[in-house]
Amino acid sequence: MKKKLFTAVLAFSAAALIGISLPLGITGRGWSPTCAFAATKKSGKKPKPGKKDSVKIDQLNWSVSEGVVDGVEMMTFEYDNKSSFDIAQFTIQFEPKGELTDEQKLLFTDVFDEEEAAHDYSTLIMTADSQRIVEKRKSVDSVPCIIHGDYVANAQQNQYDLMEPSVATIAYLGGDGKIYLEYYSFKSKTYTTSSKGGVKAYDWPTKALAKSLPKPDCPIVYTSLDEKDCLSFVAFGIDHDGYDKYIKACKKKGYKDIEYSYDSSFCAKDKKGRELMIGYSDRDQRMGVSVSVD
């Protein structure tokens, strides 16, 4: 139960935060500084959040190129946020440009079950997914690109060359305490939104168990479980110093019986037998927290 709970905390995406499933497939084009500047200058006002194109795809100057992450060569994703909003998550999903030849299919054997006689290549996609909060006029880089089939693997150049973007998913902070979600189709060049009214960005659990924890100092908290005997949430926008400070605050709350304490994970109990587990992603500046009662 505890392992499943903790895994669920760390396997969070902004789509879950909005309460919407991400579509399969994404595409994109580069940012045009002339176009973006002209749009800002013409209106003279910050666009309102919740519109289907409050953040335009050409305001997110994205690219995919070969890179190295944790000593491993792979395709990496980066983008500059030239929009008027802080971006909570930016995901691009890619699909094959057309039907793959038998020779091209051999490039994807690392993501399909070798024991299967036939593979369903229609499920083949590549994702570039940044879950790090990127403030306006800021950027992020070295985000791993992942190939998905029966399994997942780091994307390589010869695989990426066969892909094209299909759909972009953009979650952003509206500046009103809410998060908004929009999609962009590269094929039809159209926008849609699934969260016109937005959802609360800082969703702190309300049950009694939450009182045993300090509130993290960050712009986004998503609570996935809030019960009498267990809770879990994910906090976004926390740097490593913030992670260290949060652990110290938890110790002051009574979580002093430490099972382990590392740079990216922490586990401890308090005198009432409540077990706290924390996992941290430095790349995404994301902290997953769970508490359970034996």
Q: What is the model's pLDDT at position 120? A: 85
Binning pLDDT at 50, 70 and 90, where does residue 53 land?
confident
Which ranges of 179-257 would DSSP assign to H, the alpha helix?
240-252
Helix spans in 44-200 (H): 102-105, 157-160
pLDDT digits (tens, 9 = 90+) for 258-294: 999 999 999 999 999 999 999 999 999 999 999 999 7
Return d(Cα 200, Cα 232) in angstroms, integer: 17
Judge whether residue 13 has pLDDT over 50.
Answer: no
pLDDT band at residue 41 using 50, 70 and 90 as cut-offs: very low
Q: Are the beta carbons of 276 and 289 closer than 8 angstroms? A: yes
Instruction: Work out the percent of the chain whose per-residue pLDDT is above 90.
Output: 74
pLDDT at 50 over 90: no
Element (H, E) at 72: strand 72-81
Q: Which residues pair with 172 in a beta bridge?
A: 87, 180
- pLDDT of 116 reads 67
Strand-pairing partners, residue 66, are 75
Q: Which helix (H) or strand (E) covers residue 246, if one does?
A: helix 240-252
Tally the residues of the chain. Answer: 294
Q: What is the predicted pLDDT for the residue at 45?
A: 67
User: Domains (ranges, CATH) in the chain?
Assistant: 14-200 (no CATH), 208-293 (3.30.310)
Residue, of 127 and 37, whose pLDDT is higher: 127
In this prediction the pTM is 0.81
Maximum Cα interatomic distance, the chain, rounded to a whole number of Å: 62
Vertex 290, ends 231 and 285: CA angle to 5°? 125
Q: Are 49 and 28 in contact (CB under 8 A)?
A: no
Asked whether residue 245 carries a pLDDT value surpassing 90, the answer given is yes
Q: Which value, to the nearest 10 degrees, does the dihedral of the CA atoms of residues 154, 158, 164, 170 take? A: 30
| Distance in angstroms between the alpha carbons of the first and the last residue of the chain | 11
